[in-house]
Amino acid sequence: MSGNSVRLQAITDVEAYVPPAVSFDVNETPGEIYGENVFNKEVMLKRLPKSVYKSVMSTIEHGATLDPLVADAVASAMKDWALEKGATHYAHVFYPLTGLTAEKHDSFFEPVSDGSALAEFAGKTLVQGEPDASSFPNGGLRNTFEARGYTGWDVTSPAYVLENPNGNTLCIPTVFVSMTGEALDHRTPLLRSQKAMGEQAERILKMFGHENLNHVVSFCGPEQEYFLVDRHFFLARPDLLNAGRTLFGAKPPKGQEFDDHYFGAIPERVLGFMMDTERELFKLGIPAKTRHNEVAPGQFEIAPMFERGNIAADHQQLLMTTFKTIAKKHGMECLFHEKPFQGVNGSGKHVNFSLGNNELGSLFVPGDNPHDNAQFLVFCAAVIRAVHLYGGLLRASVASASNDHRLGANEAPPAIISIFLGDQLADIFDQIAKGSLKTSKGRGTMKIGVDTLPVLPTDPGDRNRTSPFAFTGNRFEFRAPGSLQTVAAPMVTINTIMADSLDYCANELDAAVAKGTDFDEAVQALLTQIITEHGDVVFNGDGYSAEWPIEAKKRGLLNLKTTLDALPELISEPAMALFEKYKVFNRREMHSRYEIGLEQYILTIGVEARLTLEMGATVVLPAAVRYQTELAANVAALGAAGVEADKGSLTEVSGPIADLKKALATLKDALAADTGHEALGEAEHARDSLLPAMSAVRAAADVLEEIVADDLWPLPTYQEMLYML
């Protein structure tokens, strides 16, 4: 089938779409199924001996060391529960540095001498597995001939049963480490960083009179943006299939300029998909809360409730896997790439961050009179100091070739890391800087002017969607993570820099009190010092304005526009000393993440460049030449008939074809260039040569898309992909 026929057939198939039949009891309620496939506290309470249950809960709730003697009892109960759920296999699930999920499935059943099979699952099997460590990104931590790596059970994240029409699997969340104990995953440093942050937060809380504290942990509420396209279009686009984003595509006549998609009525087909995914998420104990249309056509968002950081990271990976699976069931493809369509908004994964525990709740709740809430102000000041000192690390934590399309393109947010506090907090810290803290701006009311409508309360500060790190009432929202990325990486950085700032605050207060300073006066002096030294990171203005990069430079704030600008922050001496001090990473682990960042950047752009060359030469150029040939034949036929032909159309298409051929030749040469074997050199070549060459190919191809006859154009267009759902 010719390229244009594939596209036209895809359009026909999309128009003939029939929703899938309902495959579950329509009378069930969400409360009935919530967490039904999770080995949660309720299940453990029923199935574990009381002493074992208490021991496990002590580890989960209070951070106590896991008693190895409980493993056999937990494994036995977990196996029986999983078998009752129809599981035939178990899998240690881990998150290697690909950013994706990895798992190895083993059967519960083993043959016995009488010819039957016995289901077995021992404690040692639960606690530890052994996958190949050299076949995953490791940044030099494991040589190719050194393959041994271990998975280790993370008791703080519940096991679950993943359903499949052909059999279910018990999934056990685990860490993934090398034989030497170095982290080869995202979970290990996340757990380490939570421990470091919690210890320092508890020091501060004890100063404010809190005794016998439950373990302080970080909480995460990630908002996930994504695109949906019909799968017929997806399969007809090699770039979407292989790279997750379109490498070609002219701007449609209508984009997002009318703002009519945002919060609009959810299309029936998409709503069916959302309801289906939420049902599966509920069964896995994932608290999906909000769903809506996003700004760009074809773009949507889901937001879950706050959870512990490591559980939120697990649930994010599960959510993405579930979305991909259910989208196919509904004849669609779910796209998590940060910029699948040029010219319309990209997708992020906003990480809402707070810290606290079950007793105190979020420590970022200001209360009605935040100027009198010294505890809140100390924790807030710690954030200001952390972001100012380590803005480069925050940027590096979300650095990738795909996220560069958002952060480097002045989309929400810009690459400059700053903090938005809002009017109320900004005013409070301004008073602190001036040495006189007396009042807080309170809530106001909004009179709408319609008698039948109530008077609405207003917050003392507005939101700022252009800020990368914004206070939003009871938490900070880190808006820079990309939609394709794990939330674990930014959470590791946030936890660690918060550990450092809280440690600093605790030491300063301890030293002041030891010298005889009144505690309240010591707090006032600390707050004044922090806002004076680190207040330049606070910016409540428009992060999109042309003036902001100039102002940010004057303030000494970094503007790390690309991944290659940001990655060196990981191996700077202050960064390595920081992570080593709080035992989150050693120096080898930091260097490994730098090397992996370069490697992933090189591989991503390399795949896109080869795809651009292939599609440009075998899909776009032949279609354009066919059209050129048709025009030339028409001109020749008219000339033979003695009719003077208008050659304007032929000239119009010939120029872009020549541009396309030239750009393809340049890209081919760039791909063939010898850049040596040094990773940084290859990455710089990808940024400085491959990306510009790809852009030139695209520019010529996109001009041709607007010229070539529609029935000859082979690729599904933006207009079709974004609006035909």
Where are the domains positioned within the chain?
6-32+220-347, 36-185, 354-584, 600-723
The pLDDT of residue 446: 46
Q: Which of 22-36, 445-459, 519-533, 646-660 has the lowest mean pLDDT?
A: 445-459
Q: Give 518: exposed, middle or buried? Use CB within 10 Å, 0-12, 13-18, 19+.
A: exposed
Of 524, 562, 558, 551, whose CA–CA distance to 683 is shortest?
562
Q: Which of 148-157, 311-320, 567-576 has the lowest mean pLDDT?
A: 148-157
Q: pLDDT of 359-374, one tens digit each?
A: 888 999 888 777 668 8
Kindly state the average pLDDT of the residues 34-43. Answer: 95
The pLDDT of residue 250: 95
Q: Which of 124-133, 461-470, 533-542, 714-723 has the lowest mean pLDDT?
A: 461-470
CATH of domain 36-185: 3.10.20.70
Q: What is the reported pTM?
A: 0.93
Kindly state the average pLDDT of the residues 15-34. Answer: 80
Q: Which of 134-138, 232-236, 241-245, 253-257 has the lowest mean pLDDT?
A: 134-138
Residue-averaged pLDDT of the chain: 89
The pLDDT of residue 705: 96
CA 614, 619, 620, 625 torsion: positive or negative? positive
- For residues 410 and 67, the model is more confident at 67
Kindly state the average pLDDT of the residues 114-141. Answer: 79
Kindly state the average pLDDT of the residues 139-159. Answer: 81
Distance between CA atoms of residues 331 and 54, nearest Å: 46
The pLDDT of residue 369: 75
Of 537, 535, 532, 530, whose CA–CA distance to 558 is shortest?
537
DSSP string, 302-321: EEE--EEHHHHHHHHHHHHH
Q: pLDDT of 647-691, one tens digit each?
A: 778 889 999 999 999 999 999 999 999 887 799 999 999 999 999
pLDDT beyond 70 at 599: yes
pLDDT beyond 60 at 452: no
The pLDDT of residue 590: 96
Kindly state the average pLDDT of the residues 523-527. Answer: 92
CA angle, 586 as apex, 582 and 587 as ends, to 5°? 125
pLDDT over 90, % of the chain? 66
Distance between CA atoms of residues 174 and 188, nearest Å: 9
The pLDDT of residue 523: 92
* Confidence grade of residue 437 (pLDDT, cut at 50, 70, 90): low
pLDDT beyond 60 at 698: yes
Q: pLDDT of 547-582, one tens digit each?
A: 999 999 999 999 999 999 999 999 999 999 999 999
Distance between CA atoms of residues 658 and 704, nearest Å: 11
The pLDDT of residue 122: 87
pLDDT beyond 70 at 723: yes
Of 390, 328, 343, whose CA–CA distance to 578 is shortest?
390
Largest CA distance in the chain: 106
The pLDDT of residue 395: 96
Q: pLDDT of 176-226, one tens digit each?
A: 998 888 999 999 999 999 999 999 999 999 999 998 888 899 999 999 999
The answer to whether domain 600-723 has CATH 3.40.47.10 is: no
The pLDDT of residue 453: 55
Token representation of residue 321: 């896997």
Which CATH superfamily hosts domain 6-32+220-347?
A: Glutamine synthetase/guanido kinase, catalytic domain (3.30.590.10)
Q: Where are the beta strands (DSSP E) in 60-165?
A: 87-94, 102-107, 109-111, 117-119, 128-129, 149-153, 160-162
pLDDT beyond 50 at 714: yes
- For residues 721 and 450, the model is more confident at 721
The pLDDT of residue 166: 83
3-state SS class at 217:
strand
* Confidence grade of residue 471 (pLDDT, cut at 50, 70, 90): very high
Q: Is the separation of the CB atoms in 656 and 707 below 8 Å?
A: yes
Kindly state the average pLDDT of the residues 588-604. Answer: 96
The pLDDT of residue 681: 94
Distance between CA atoms of residues 564 and 569, nearest Å: 10
* Confidence grade of residue 73 (pLDDT, cut at 50, 70, 90): very high
